[in-house]
Amino acid sequence: MLGTNPRDENAYDVVVVGGGPAGSTAATFLVRQGLRVAVFEREAFPRFHVGESLLPANLPIFDRLGCHQALQQTGLMEKRGVTIFDEYEHRGTMTVQFPRLPFQPDSSYQVVRASFDDFLLHHAAASGASVYRQHTVTAARHDPDQVVLQVTAAQGGTREVRTQVLVDASGRSTFLGTQFGRREPLPDLGKVSLFAHFRNVRRDPTIPEGNARLYLIPQGWMWWFSFADGTDSIGCVLHAQVVKARTGSIEALFDEVLATSPRVTAGLVDAERISLVQPVANFSYRITPCVGDRYLAIGDAAGFIDPIFSTGVYLAMRSGELAADAIGEAFRAHDFRAHRFHAYDKYLRRGTAPFLPFIERFYDPEFLDTFVSQRAPTWLRLPVVWVLSGAAFDYRSLWRSLWLRFGLAIFFAIVHIHKVIRWTKGRTVASRRSW
């Protein structure tokens, strides 16, 4: 759009650092606006990645990317809801189905991230982005009228690449956040996660196969997602206290934690682990600021809240789409100063805000008394399920917004009543968030 030479492999309108869901989405929407875009991705794809359970709000983004049908043809497990098993305080088993809404469907997918991310990156390339795999961006420098990057190829050799605008989609590496901004851990969410892939598991026939299954256990919680190719992902999120008290290997800790769930243990009788046990620690943080002159951060590079409600990939892709809109407008105005991108930053923070109270309260026993309770009527959970399906991110209608606020106010009032009941019965009311 600014007339960069289409043959020049070292000058682009926009460079995207990272080819995960955020980077691929941004790149596709950017090239659609006539911009010359390069994506530099450090790894050789396909590569293993955590984050396999998507929200219904993801599906309209696939439609807008123009790749939904092709994605479905890769073979995906349909996810219609979430089932929570309480194996800690024994409240029972609770299933919520996603509601069908005028602007999003009532289902989503469980995806193997290696092939899902590869598919999206191919789609960005097919749309016209120049994609360089196994190329690491090692440094960025602001010149008066461009950003200059150092890019190192895995085969060797470093080159300088110039760009008008830089998009940081480097995920948890937070490439720019650590260079230009501040990375702040979210208080009390210093958790540790261990996870792996399995085959030959026994899937519980009483639960819809595609449902995300969450297990509440004394050390934290576990997930179990089933894929269309017959393999399964099982992982746990542990309180930091549990991990600090340990000295053995992560494999031994993982096996020990899985063994605390009778249901998971039964499912794994004939199973074979087909991946390494992968650890991730202290994954909740925010980057401030996440925009500046000639740059924006998207996806995990802008911040990550907590995996409990499977919001990560949706927020990554939606932020990629919003950033592409903001960059397109900046090109049309020939103005790349930070103030151009503040509206993007604000929209992202506002859209993410509805998830936060749930993540904070998930570790409170009275929240679980209300949400997981067998006696809770469907209407009480409905506003919560709206938020957790991603429907609240783009909430701009006044009436819907009032309805949602009213519904959530009632829900949290009942949470408070449960707290009083626990307290009068002498049961613990302490949150497990800071454990």
Ligand X SMILES: Cc1cc2nc3c(=O)[nH]c(=O)nc-3n(C[C@H](O)[C@H](O)[C@H](O)COP(=O)(O)OP(=O)(O)OC[C@H]3O[C@@H](n4cnc5c(N)ncnc54)[C@H](O)[C@@H]3O)c2cc1C
Instruction: Using CB under 6 A, list all residues that contact ligand X.
Output: 17-23, 40-43, 49-54, 136-137, 169-173, 175, 193, 280, 283, 299-301, 304, 307, 310, 312-314, 316
> Cα(214)–Cα(86) distance, rounded to whole angstroms?
8
Q: Which is nearer to ligand X, 220 or 365 (CB)?
A: 220
> Cα(34)–Cα(357) distance, rounded to whole angstroms?
40
Q: Which is nearer to ligand X, 36 or 318 (CB)?
A: 318
> Cα(333)–Cα(364) distance, rounded to whole angstroms?
48
Least Å distance, CB 148 to ligand X, is 15
Least Å distance, CB 367 to ligand X, is 20
> Three-class SS of residue 25?
helix
Rounded to the nearest angstrom, the gap between the alpha carbon of residue 266 and the centroid of all alpha carbons in its chain is 29
Per the CB < 8 A criterion, the answer to whether 3 and 13 are in contact is: no
Q: Which is nearer to ligand X, 193 or 389 (CB)?
A: 193
Q: Which is nearer to ligand X, 87 or 306 (CB)?
A: 306
Q: Which is nearer to ligand X, 327 or 415 (CB)?
A: 327
Q: How many CB atoms lie within 10 A of CB 192?
A: 22
Sign of CA dihedral 209, 210, 216, 222: positive
Q: How many CA atoms lie within 13 A of 330 on its CB side?
A: 28
Q: Which is nearer to ligand X, 175 or 198 (CB)?
A: 175
Output the six-digit token pair for 407. 């519904």
Q: How many CA atoms lie within 13 A of 155 on its CB side?
A: 2
Least Å distance, CB 203 to ligand X, is 18
> Cα(155)–Cα(175) distance, rounded to whole angstroms?
21
376-to-119, 199, 254, 380, 385 alpha-carbon distances in Å:
40, 36, 33, 7, 13
Q: Which is nearer to ligand X, 136 or 219 (CB)?
A: 136
User: Beta-strand (E) ranges in 18-74?
Assistant: 37-41
